[in-house]
Amino acid sequence: PYNGYLEIWLQRVTQPKAVGIKFESSEPICKIVNGEKAQLWENGWIVSETLKQALDVSKIVVATVDDESEVVLPEEVKLFKENAWAY
């Protein structure tokens, strides 16, 4: 599967506080989760400031990955298996 999808999964399983592994990635979604600035979409062509604010990627993170449980639930694994090949 697409390497970026695997990087998101690796971040999920390694970065909870109880695991304690620092995961760094060039994947934009991983950067956003880590609090870094990253461009997720090409939106330089958008003129509307309201629309630009609506697309602000810093708003998509609603919790820190550090607070996730170190135990990956079967439902999460199932989602990964179902969606991994789509990427």
Q: Summarize pLDDT for 41-55 with one digit per residue, the tens.
A: 898 999 999 998 888
Q: How many CA atoms lie within 13 A of 60 on its CB side?
A: 17
Nearest to 60 by CA among 30, 82, 17: 30
- Provide the mean pLDDT of the chain: 83
Distances (CA, A) of 22 to 19, 27, 71: 9, 15, 17
Q: What's at 30, amino acid-wise?
A: C
The mean pLDDT value for 65-84 works out to 81
Nearest to 83 by CA among 5, 3, 25, 4: 5
What residues does each domain of the chain span?
3-84
What is the structure's pLDDT at 46? 93
Nearest to 33 by CA among 21, 52, 15: 15
State pTM to two decimals.
0.71
